[in-house]
Chains A and B, each alone.
Chain A
Amino acid sequence: MKRIGTFLLAGLAGFGLAGAAQAQNVTVYTAGPANLIDSLASGFKDETGITVDVFQATTGKVMARLEAEAGNPVADILISASWDTATDFAAQGKLLDYNSANAANVPDFLKGPGYVAQGISALAIAWNPNSGTPRPADWSDLTDEAYRDLVTMPDPSQSGSAYELVAALTTQNDLGWTLFDALAANDMIVPGANAQALNPVLQGAKGVVFGAVDYISLGQAAKGETIEVIFPASGTVIAPRPMMILKSSKNQDAAKKFIDYVLSDKGQAMVAATYLMPARSDVAADRALISDLKILSVDPASDRAATLARFNKIFGIE
């Protein structure tokens, strides 16, 4: 009972404390992975004494919270899993133009005015070797009869990177919509976001994820799951995760320090430890890097709504 009382008091106290931002705090709204931001936050605190308040969710949830808070913004730094967020926010003038000294070794296509990549994920084929299917080498292999009813794909409406993949593939002549038509004919399913697509493959209900987020699967493989990450020969898309300081930030100095920290050797090593590709080209990682991959580009003018509508129609998820 005493515990409950204490808790209630704490709850009531929470009513009063809100919004009292202190100078030695920086607030980060970030998409996953959770353990990355946790280690970045504690490392940053150790180095600078500045506390990092973290709100971590999916990109969608992060954006919804930002939007709802628009009248009374809380976040200093936003880390998204979708590059579009950065370009849009920059275009809307919502970003503080900050160019970190540590960003010198970040390739130009991974930074812009006010934003810079934290790390990069790529989409891949995640294959369960125990599934009794042959090892696929490319996207189009999965239309083969051997994979009938054994392929899953993250829903491009729920996963920004999966959308990028659809957009990139459908601008290719030899791949394009015919590939997706064939995959649909081969009974590929689109069960939900990234985790929902991977799970049935881990248990063996399905054999392959078409467009798995590579770092998640690499991490699971490292933990002993029977899953192999294959980067298709014809190329794939990458999803750089942009960091940005919001113009509404009241702790801009601390925010700049945090960006510097993420791009430092230490910070980038933490990024690499989660099996993401580091943003800096001079930081090593125990995985395939951008230079090892054939990157497909996405036409920035592609019509997102139309692409999604066509995709959903093919897979009967309207």
Chain B
Amino acid sequence: MRPDFFKRGFFDGGGSIAAVVAPVLIVLVAFPLLFVLLQAVFPDIALGSFADPFGRFVETLSDPRLVRWTLNTLMLGVCVVVGAFVVAVPLGILRGLFRVPGGGFWDLVFLVPFTIPPYIAALGWIMTLQPRGYLEQVSGVNAGAFLFSFQGVVFVMTLNVFPVVYFAVSRMVATIGGRYVEAARVAGSTPVRAFWRITLPLSTPAIAASLLLVFAMAIEEFGTPAALAARSGFLVLVTGIERHLSDYPIDLPSASLLSTILVLMAMTAFIIQHRVVSRRDFRTISGKPGAQDLLPLGVWRIPVVILFAVVGLLGAVTPVAAVMLTASTRTISGGLAVDNFSTVHFAEIFANSGGAMEALGTSLGLGVAAALITGLLGTLTAYVVVRQRHLGARILDFLTMIPNTIPGIVVAVGLILAWTQPWLPATPYNGIGILVLAYCCLLLPYPVRYANAALRQIGPSLEDAARVSGARHITVFFRILTPLILPSVIAAMLLVFAVAARELVATILLAPLGTKTVALFIWRQFEQGSVGLGMAMSAMAIAITMTIPIAVAIWTRKRGQMF
């Protein structure tokens, strides 16, 4: 492998880009993850000691509950993937192919679930559906039995993550265009058959890539299953990891070890995805550009709008409404009584209670920084991965995937272990830089997956033509490829921004001394039972987080590009 890796593949052609990307990824991702692995093997690695290797293996792995937790995790991951597929793929294809009334508006609506932290969304659903929740206060019925069950977890998590699939699929389908479907219709296929035989297979790379992300997110998510299904006895691997990390005495090695099970699970999913995608490499942006007109919906206009509205109502409106109601009622126990409505919580935020404004500023800055860095890095990585088909590129590809499969808290532990190593000449630890590093590490998978799927669509002749015109690799990348995949990358960067601006789990551990972020602020209010104040902050954060996507949407529309 060595001569090939170094001589031909890596530094030849796109290799100049690989030469830039590889070291950055190694520092950003491989370095902390290496320490997760080391911690799993060497219990005392935090002290720099390699004593007692595999000391915790037997005890941790012989836990009789481990098999059940693993199976539960797998079941949860698969069910959320299926749920996201069922919800997002039809919506994405409709949006990408047809003139859906209010198209750009729905994009913004479906971005909302992403700006709501999962723990807030879960809490919002609890407060809405539990007995005497908002739904019962308004309509007299409650869905507590449904919510606090495995089905409830899948329902809530699907609504949290389906936008990942929706955006990937709608972008992909829009670039494919309707001509293939029209060809199928002309060839005698019904619309339904055309969907199954043409559109769906053509969108496979985007669907597979985004479902992989969904799977990874589902198996590492802690808050939602813990809040909703733990009481019905449904525990997952992350529960075990969380216990090792919160239950005294703290057991970092066992937590790291259980995390590696998650990584193995994700690796399997990654390999399956890779098989699926590499067998279906469709080049649908050829050098023969054609006007891509959206198809009319005809009589289906109303049903389609209703479908979008229902998903929007469940995914975005309901949790936001729960957040707003809680934020604007003085007390929870007072319920939705008229005299209980009050702006007291918002007033407290504006009075800068507990550094609320500072927290908002810090979070927005972190979100922007993470989005810019991961956008650039992710696009470069995807380019290397798509154009260079050797083992080194495959390793890079997987490297950008792992952080998504490890619970944020374990990644945080890895970052601490790595960046507090005494031999390091300089360290971002205990500076705001460590949060930037953490978010970039955790969120790099989005731009990589999105850009990867988009790049696979671009016919190689577009690149060849530029090379022959005298452009170097790097010029081809920035002048030809980047503009073509920009819609996808911007979508991914918006997701990164939305998530980074509200990330909690890694932030709790990594926050530099005295640093306040939105998520930390909210979480501290919740810890003290001040749910209203926490929710008021959430509402503000959601509103402010949404302004950037809205601005981007307006900007791209002005430039005549598709958002």
Contact = CB atoms under 8 A, between A and B. Distances in A.
Does a CB–CB distance below 8 Å link A and B in the complex? yes
Interface of A: 3-4, 7-8, 10-19, 27, 32-35, 38, 53-61, 63-72, 74, 82, 84-85, 88, 128, 130, 155, 157-158, 160, 189-192, 194-196, 198-200, 202-206, 216-217, 219-220, 223-227, 316-318
B298 to A, nearest CB: 44
A318 B248 contact: no
B431 interface: yes
Contact of A38 (B227, B354, B409, B433): B354
Contacts of B227: 191-192, 196
Contact of B420 (A14, A34, A68): A68
Contacts of A88: 248-249
Contact of B434 (A8, A14, A55, A155): A14
A32 B527 contact: yes
A195 B248 contact: no
B130 interface: yes
Contacts of A226: 331, 333-334
Contact of B246 (A10, A27, A64, A128): A64
Interface string B121-156: 001001100111100000000001000000000000
Nearest to A85: B248
B131 A34 contact: no
Given A84-B248, A224-B334, A56 B47 contact: no
A122 to B, nearest CB: 16
Contacts of B416: 65, 68-69
A7 B365 contact: yes
Contacts of A318: 65, 233, 235
Given A7-B369, A17-B431, A53-B514, A202 B332 contact: yes
Contacts, number: 212
B527 A58 contact: yes
Interface of B: 46-48, 65, 123, 126-127, 130-133, 144, 226-227, 230-233, 235, 243, 245-250, 252, 330-335, 354, 365, 368-369, 372, 409, 413, 416-417, 420-422, 426-434, 436, 508-509, 511-514, 524, 526-531
B333 A225 contact: yes
B528 A71 contact: no
A223 B433 CA distance: 38
Nearest to B130: A205
Nearest to B44: A70
B365 A67 contact: no
A276 B235 CA distance: 33
Given A67-B250, A155-B230, A318-B65, 19 more contacts: A15-B428, A18-B433, A18-B434, A27-B513, A32-B524, A32-B527, A59-B248, A60-B246, A60-B250, A68-B252, A70-B47, A71-B422, A82-B248, A190-B231, A191-B230, A194-B527, A195-B529, A199-B332, A223-B331
Contact of B427 (A3, A15, A160): A15
30 contacts: A4-B365, A18-B426, A27-B513, A38-B354, A60-B247, A60-B250, A63-B249, A63-B250, A64-B413, A68-B420, A68-B509, A70-B46, A71-B46, A71-B421, A71-B422, A74-B430, A155-B230, A190-B230, A191-B227, A191-B230, A192-B227, A195-B526, A198-B529, A202-B531, A204-B131, A204-B132, A205-B130, A205-B133, A219-B530, A316-B232
Given A4-B369, A53-B514, A71-B422, A219 B431 contact: no
B333 A13 contact: no
A11 B439 CA distance: 13
B365 A158 contact: no
Given A64-B252, A69-B420, A317 B331 contact: no
A226 B329 CA distance: 13
Contacts of B531: 195, 199, 202
A18 B528 contact: no
Among B65, B226, B372, the most chain A Cβ lie within 10 Å of the Cβ of: B226
Contact of A54 (B246, B369, B514, B529): B514
A220 B434 contact: no
Contacts of B249: 63, 88
Given A14-B434, A203-B333, A318-B65, A34 B528 contact: yes
Nearest to A84: B248
Nearest to B246: A60
Contact of A7 (B123, B368, B430, B434): B368
Nearest to A152: B231
B433 A11 contact: yes
A70 B452 CA distance: 39
B333 A12 contact: no
A17 B430 CA distance: 8
A128 B436 CA distance: 43
Nearest to B342: A224
Contacts of B508: 57, 61
A226 B372 CA distance: 46
Contacts of B144: 205
Given A18-B430, A195-B526, A200 B126 contact: yes
Contact of A225 (B127, B226, B331): B331
Contacts of A3: 365
Given A61-B508, A68-B46, A33 B528 contact: yes
